């Protein structure tokens, strides 16, 4: 019986052919000094020109912990709704003056779950701030493709299960200096094999503090 089930599964995959999206796009991002860059976002835009909007409600979260936005960079697809819980014991006042989405969530108390949802319906960059805590800063990067990933501490990002095809692949970072090195016009993803797209980018020197004065894990970014 087990063998039959196994055969059925194999037949299913063979018949449907295109179902096996098992290839990943793997990127490493370095700065000009060779340091790995965290908080860079890799996007892969299908060359077919297909612009996609989130077709179902996607909910994501930017939390506030220890007077810091978590996470510093949040990439989302156009149409995504973000909620802004407050995990501190004090009140925050979140706002954005950015063109891509202007909004304000006036002084609000701690709360978990789907708190103060905001839907992002235009591509672009949103800079978040808090009226009470000047150092609180975070970035939302709104993209028109479902294929994106953020680099980890090691500068690595993986876009999992990307369908085979041709893509324009870009890197973005809140402190990136505009350069042609941040775009690869055509990256071909072949079925069944992982692809690499590495970037070396130039970052502006930013010395602002992004954590509460005196809190653990503080420091200067980057």
Identify the residue whose tokens are 């909620």: 83
Minimum CB separation of residue 108 from Cu ion in Å reads: 10
**Distance (Å, rounded) from C-alpha 143 to C-alpha 78?**
6
Q: What is the DSSP letter of 198?
A: -
The b/e string for 23-41 (b: 16+ C-beta within 10 A; e otherwise) is: bbbbbbbbbeeeeebbbbb
Report which of 44, 35, 71 is spatially closest to residue 155, judged by C-alpha positions: 35
Question: Which residues have CB under 8 Å from 50's CB, separation 6+?
Answer: none
Identify the residue whose tokens are 């989130």: 54
Minimum CB separation of residue 90 from Cu ion in Å reads: 7
Minimum CB separation of residue 146 from Cu ion in Å reads: 32
Minimum CB separation of residue 135 from Cu ion in Å reads: 9
**Distance (Å, rounded) from C-alpha 56 to C-alpha 60?**
13
**Distance (Å, rounded) from C-alpha 124 to C-alpha 142?**
5
Minimum CB separation of residue 215 from Cu ion in Å reads: 13
Pairing mode of beta strands 73-77, 118-119? unpaired
Minimum CB separation of residue 59 from Cu ion in Å reads: 22
Binding site for Cu ion (CB under 5 A): 92, 130, 132-133
Q: Which is nearer to Cu ion, 59 or 132 (CB)?
A: 132
**Distance (Å, rounded) from C-alpha 159 to C-alpha 146?**
10
């Amino acid at each position: 019986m087990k063998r039959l089930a196994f055969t059925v599964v194999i037949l299913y995959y063979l018949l449907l052919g295109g179902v096996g999206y098992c290839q990943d796009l793997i990127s490493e991002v370095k700065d000009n000094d060779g340091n790995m860059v965290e908080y860079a976002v890799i996007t892969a835009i299908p060359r077919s020109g297909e612009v996609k909007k989130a077709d179902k409600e996607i909910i994501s979260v930017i939390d506030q912990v220890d007077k810091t936005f978590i996470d510093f960079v949040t990439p989302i697809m156009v149409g995504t709704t973000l909620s802004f819980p407050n995990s501190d014991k004090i009140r925050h006042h979140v706002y954005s003056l950015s063109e891509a989405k202007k909004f304000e969530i006036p002084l609000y108390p701690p709360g978990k779950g789907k708190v103060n949802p905001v839907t992002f319906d235009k591509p672009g960059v949103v800079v978040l701030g808090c009226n009470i805590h000047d150092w609180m800063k975070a970035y939302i990067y709104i993209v028109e493709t479902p294929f994106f990933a953020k680099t980890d501490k090691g500068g690595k990002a993986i876009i999992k299960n990307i369908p085979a095809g041709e893509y324009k692949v870009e890197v973005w970072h809140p402190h990136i200096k505009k350069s042609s090195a941040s775009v690869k016009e055509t990256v071909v993803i072949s079925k069944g094999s992982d692809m690499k797209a590495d970037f070396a980018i130039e970052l502006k020197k930013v010395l602002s503090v992004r954590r509460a004065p005196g809190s653990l894990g503080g420091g200067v970014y980057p």
